[in-house]
Structure 1
């Protein structure tokens, strides 16, 4: 049966921990975006969390290799871990871009993206806690919320990029901010991809 062996807890505990790591990363990212005054320090902290996320993925992979009977299909477990890692990698890449692209001041659009991503992360954490409890109804509701946030991310990207072309004065600034806004929207896409996997898991095992 699904979720009825003590060995299963290793997989679900690790996935929940990985999701919690993303919540912490998004909180730091939002704090960073508030001023960008200490972007180098925040980039280092986010890199540390990204490395921690890699460790969670390695734990999942090791347990899959050592476990004969898994609580879900191996492919599903691995895909959940990989998609979690994609979300974390995406936001860490954005924090790094603040540094090497020399982004010196924040914008209202950066703040809106940061707040949106923090909400996304909180929903993802709730979803994995629900998965461990086999609370499939909650997961389905959370998937809807994440999809709505991804739609907001699409709209925010269009508005933010569009604003850059309203009165362009510095082409270099335009290029780097356009790339950042598009990269941030891509993180919401990764979250939606993860939500799609969660939804497929619910359909398969509910």
Structure 2
């Protein structure tokens, strides 16, 4: 029988879970931005509020690390995971705010591939939020990081097709520049979800 000398500190797992569910809120708000007749400023403001909440959770996590003598797993991994979850939220908030500030939601329609990329992010967020509570037991996590990797590949394909469309001549040059900034943030968020999954895989391997 294997014994663990690390404490089961529930506060860390709760903070990770809260951070992950904030990402679900973030992707849901991105989806809202594309709805016809939506109050774009209100959605963008709510997205900023969620990002601020994520920052608070990250700071709370760091304080918890510094005030805990023995952590449930390596401090460096806790810092890394907390920081990476916050990075995802930063990219989601940046994409949403650029959509609003650049007035892109006023276009007749956003490119289909942009909707596909947001759909991938929404799936990644939900899967991450579902997986995070399982960190406590370190069980049944492999399917999570495999699926996140698959979705990241889907996101890469949507991103490449979106670039092809942007540079096809369908949009004027200024609109292309604005959209390119948004899609780069969306693609960065997609990659950041994979970084979270890779860190969780590393933690699971160390603790197995």
TM-score tier after normalising by the smaller chain length? over 0.9
CA contact (8 A) 1:2 1:72 kept: no
Output the CA distance in 2 between the equivalents of 1:134 and 1:29.
31
Output the CA distance in 2 between the equivalents of 1:134 and 1:2.
15
Partner residue in 2 for 1:86 = 87
Task: Summarize the alignment of residues 87-102 of structure 1 with structure 2, pairs less than 5 Å apart.
Answer: 87-102=88-103
Partner residue in 2 for 1:175 = 177
- TM-score, normalising length: structure 2: 0.91
Structure 2 vs 1, CA of residues 65 and 197 (structure 1 numbering), >3 Å: closer, same or farther?
same
Partner residue in 1 for 2:123 = 119
Q: CA deviation at 1:176?
A: 1.1
1:130 to 117, 125, 134: 134
Partner residue in 2 for 1:20 = 21
What SS class does the counterpart of residue 192 from structure 2 fall into? helix
Paired residues, what number? 202
Cα distance per residue 1:1-56 (max 9 Å; x no partner) = 26643xx0011111111111111111121122233742211110010000000111
Output the CA distance in 1 between the equivalents of 2:192 and 2:128.
11
Cα distance per residue 1:73-119 (max 9 Å; x no partner) = 11111111000000001000001101221212333122212211110
Output the CA distance in 2 between the equivalents of 1:88 and 1:76.
19
Q: CA deviation at 1:178?
A: 2.0
Task: Summarize the alignment of residues 9-158 of structure 1 with structure 2, pairs less than 5 Å apart.
Answer: 9-35=10-36, 37-103=38-104, 104-105=106-107, 106-135=110-139, 138-158=140-160
CA contact (8 A) 1:57 1:81 kept: yes
Output the CA distance in 1 between the equivalents of 2:156 and 2:145.
17
Residue 139 of structure 2 is aligned to residue 166 of structure 1: no
Residue 198 of structure 2 is aligned to residue 196 of structure 1: yes
Output the CA distance in 1 between the equivalents of 2:91 and 2:69.
33
- TM-score, normalising length: structure 1: 0.92
Output the CA distance in 1 between the equivalents of 2:5 and 2:123.
29
Output the CA distance in 1 between the equivalents of 2:36 and 2:195.
30
Q: CA deviation at 1:169?
A: 4.8
Gap runs ≥5 in structure 2: none
